[in-house]
Amino acid sequence: MGSIKCIGILTSGGDAPGMNAAVRAVTRAAIYNGLEVKAIYRGYKGLITDEIETFHTQNVSNIIQQGGTILKTARCKEFMTPEGRQLAYETLQKHGIEALVCIGGDGTLTGARIFASEFNFPIVGIPGTIDNDLFGTDNTIGYDTALNTIMEAVDKIRDTATSHERLFFIEVMGRDAGFLALNGAIATGCEAAIIPEIATENDQLGELIKNGFRKSKNSSIVLVAESPLTGGAMALAERVKNEYPQYDVRVTILGHIQRGGSPSAIDRILASRMGAASIDALLEGQRNVMIGIQNDELVYVPFSKAIKNDKPINRELLNTLRILSI
C-alpha dist (Å) from residue 283 to 69, 98, 275, 292, 312: 25, 12, 13, 17, 32
- Contact (Cβ atoms closer than 8 angstroms) between residue 281 and residue 289: yes
| DSSP code for 141 | B
Catalytic one among 15, 106, 131, 133? Answer: 131
Give the dihedral sign, CA 56/52/3/26. Answer: positive
CA distance 94 to 47: 11
Strand, helix or coil for residue 279:
helix
**Identity of the amino acid at 146:** A
159 is catalytic: no
Strand 36-40 to 52-55 pairing: antiparallel
Neighbouring C-alpha atoms within 13 Å toward the C-beta of 208: 25
C-alpha dist (Å) from residue 47 to 19, 125, 279: 19, 16, 20
**Identity of the amino acid at 117:** S
CA distance 71 to 67: 12
- Contact (Cβ atoms closer than 8 angstroms) between residue 162 and residue 218: yes
Q: Which residues are catalytic?
A: 131
